[in-house]
Structures are given as C-alpha cells and as structure tokens.
C-alpha cells in the first residue's frame, strides 16, 4: 500500500513540457539577437547592410526548403520557380498596378502559393529523382514563359521604379528592416508549424510515410500543404531580392544555382531540424563573403564540402553538436520532467 501511494505521488509530480533549459536559452538568445539586428543599420555601413539582406534571404530559403525536403521528403531542384514568381509578382503589383511595394510582399507570397497548387498536381505525379528533375523542368518553363512577357521586360528584365522615391540610405535601411521582419515571420512560422498537430504528422511523414499513412495521416494533403508553404517562402525571398537589387532578370531569379545553395545549406546544417538550416545558412553566407573574390572556384570548394558532409556527417553540423537530438533551441519537442528523486536514481 505504501509503495502504491509513493508511486502515485511520484507520477503526480511528473509532467510533460515543451520547454527545456536549452530551448529557453535559445529562444531568449534569439529574442535578444532580433533586437540587436533591428538596431544594426545605425551601426554598420551600406555594404554590410546589403550583405545582411542577402543573409536573410538565405535563411528564408534554407528554412522553407528544409520543410519541403527535411519534413515532407520531397527533394526539389526547382524552388527558383517561386523565387522568380515572387520577384515578378512584386514588380507587377508595385509598378504596373500601383500597390504599395511593402504590401505587395505578402500578396506575392500568396500568389506563389496559389500558383503552386496546380503545379503540385503535376509535380506529385513524379517521385524520387524524377520529382527533383521535374521541378527543375517546371522552373525552366516559368523562365521561358516570363521571357515572352514584354510588360515585365522579357529576357532583358525590368527595374523596380516603385522604390525610386525613397532616398538611397532610407531605402536600404527600410529594405533591411522589411527583410528582418520577413525572416522572423518565416522562421517563427516554421517553429509554430512543427509545434502543431500538423507538425507531428510531418515528423511521422519524415520518418516513415507508409507508417504515417496507416496511422491516419493524409500523406498527399500534408505534402501538398508543405509544398505550398515552401513556395510562399521562396516567393517572399524573391520579393526581397527584387527590393534589394531594384532589378529583376530571368537569368538571375530563375537560376538553378538557388536550389544548389538551398541544398548545400540544409545538408551541412542538418536536414529535418529547425536549427540546422539556420546554421547552414550562416556558414554558407560567411563562406560566400570570404571566398567570393575567387569567382566560380569557390563553388567547387562548396561542392566538395557538401559531398564530405553527405558521406561522413549525414546529420549535419547540428546533428554533431546537439547530442543526437537531446538539445533543442526551439520548444518543439516533448520532455518528461521527472521528480528530483527519480533523477537522482537515474
């Protein structure tokens, strides 16, 4: 009887929590970092601000591509289709239709997601490597169609006149703050998505699609939703590229190199985690800044580095430092908090 009461007392002190010491520290550090980044334009030069906008674009692309491949199990080599679509949607909305350029950003994301709906029904007929090649072909079709539209400059591209009314320094600073808001919203949305019931379905889908289907997960609907979210994220990245460069060209926004960058960032950071793409994007950005003067040669080095990670560190950098998933910087998992007595016994 005494043993039964003691067990009941122990179980009453046990509780399931999403928060761990590491996630509390990580979330707090992230909030402080966001505040510091918001003040950065007052402290750095214009060239560094431009570079930071590039980092924010990479963070968005890495995080959303990881949702697609790391959780949805769909390795796409054609997300540049939605980068271009987002950039040209911004140009069309702001310059041709007179929509406020900053209001055009979420509208362009919605347009990218809507276009992705019929595209998904075509792309999802393919699996594995065929899906990857098929998405690249779809992106090329987007580029070829865009070239045929004279209203957006055809093959020569088009400049964004909606931003011309801003003074140069103010335009760059505002563009930086808008990019910061976008990356916070995108990464925060990824965290909330993984925390949700749908996130559990995605985790099951990532681990074993067949088992997930037998457990009641609608595999096709889940994959399609992730595909739409990833397309919207790529569209947001495209709008930021357009605002930063003030010019959109098909050869730039539809370049397959964007997909190569996404794959590299997620692979070296850690596929199927929230922290990995962030780490991979930062590392890639630092390498890009340090080695850009070597031209295309640095891309060869990045390729070799990516191959080494695939062969010898498939869990990526975050997998190496997180002690096999026991450390989280975001409160997305579940942890059983045991009584102090139980902890001491263990």
Distance in angstroms (rounded) separating the CA atoms of residues 145 and 155: 10
Tokens of 40: 């950065």
Element (H, E) at 259: helix 257-269
C-alpha 67 chain-centroid distance: 7
Residue 31 confidence (pLDDT) above 70: yes
**Per-residue model confidence (pLDDT) at position 335:** 66
pLDDT, tens digit (0-9, with 9 covering 90-100), for 251-277: 889 999 999 899 999 999 988 888 889
What is the reported pTM?
Answer: 0.89
Per the CB < 8 A criterion, the answer to whether 10 and 339 are in contact is yes
Which segments of 124-218 does DSSP mark as H helices, in order? Answer: 128-147, 168-195, 197-207, 209-214
The pLDDT-based confidence of 234 (bands split at 50, 70, 90) is very high
Which segments of the chain does DSSP mark as H helices, in order? Answer: 2-13, 21-38, 46-66, 80-91, 104-123, 128-147, 168-195, 197-207, 209-214, 219-245, 250-253, 257-269, 275-291, 297-312, 316-321, 340-345
When mean pLDDT is compared over 123-132, 204-213, 306-315, the highest value belongs to: 123-132
pLDDT, tens digit (0-9, with 9 covering 90-100), for 178-229: 999 999 999 999 888 888 888 788 877 777 777 777 877 788 888 899 999 9
Distance in angstroms (rounded) separating the CA atoms of residues 227 and 329: 25
- Torsion angles phi and psi, residue 337, rounded to 5: -85, 120
E strand residue ranges, the chain: 15-17, 158-159, 247-248, 335-337
Cβ count near 99 (within 10 Å): 17
**Percent residues over pLDDT 90 in the chain:** 36
Distance in angstroms (rounded) separating the CA atoms of residues 113 and 119: 10
**Per-residue model confidence (pLDDT) at position 341:** 41
């Amino acid at each position: 009887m005494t043993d039964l009461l003691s067990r009941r007392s122990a179980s009453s002190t046990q509780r399931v929590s999403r928060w761990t010491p590491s996630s509390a520290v990580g979330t707090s550090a992230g909030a402080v970092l966001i505040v510091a980044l918001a003040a950065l334009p007052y402290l750095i030069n214009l060239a560094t601000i431009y570079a930071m906008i590039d980092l924010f674009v990479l963070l968005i692309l890495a995080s959303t591509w990881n949702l697609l491949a790391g959780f949805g199990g769909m390795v796409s080599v054609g997300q540049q289709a939605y980068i271009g679509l987002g950039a040209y949607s911004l140009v069309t909305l702001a310059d041709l239709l007179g929509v406020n350029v900053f209001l055009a950003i979420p509208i362009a994301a919605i347009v990218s997601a809507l276009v992705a709906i019929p595209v998904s029904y075509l792309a999802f007929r393919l699996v594995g490597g065929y899906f990857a090649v098929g998405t690249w072909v779809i992106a090329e079709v987007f580029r070829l169609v865009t070239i045929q539209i004279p209203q957006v400059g055809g093959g020569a591209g088009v400049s964004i006149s909606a931003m011309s009314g801003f003074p140069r320094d103010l335009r760059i600073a505002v563009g930086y703050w808008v990019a910061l808001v976008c990356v916070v919203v995108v990464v925060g949305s990824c965290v909330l998505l993984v925390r949700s019931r749908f996130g559990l379905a995605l985790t099951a889908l990532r681990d074993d699609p067949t088992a997930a289907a037998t457990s009641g997960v609608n595999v096709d609907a889940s994959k399609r939703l992730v595909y739409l979210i990833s397309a919207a994220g790529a569209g947001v990245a495209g709008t930021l590229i357009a605002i930063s460069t003030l010019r959109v060209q098909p050869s730039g926004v539809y370049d397959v190199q964007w997909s190569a960058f996404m794959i590299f960032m997620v692979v070296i950071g850690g596929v199927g985690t929230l922290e990995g793409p962030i780490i991979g994007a930062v590392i890639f950005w630092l390498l890009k800044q340090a080695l850009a003067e070597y031209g295309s040669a640095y891309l060869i080095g990045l390729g070799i580095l990516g191959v080494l990670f695939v062969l010898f560190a498939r869990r990526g950098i975050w997998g190496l430092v997180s002690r096999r998933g026991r450390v989280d910087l975001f409160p997305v998992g579940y942890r059983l908090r045991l009584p102090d007595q139980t902890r001491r016994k263990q």
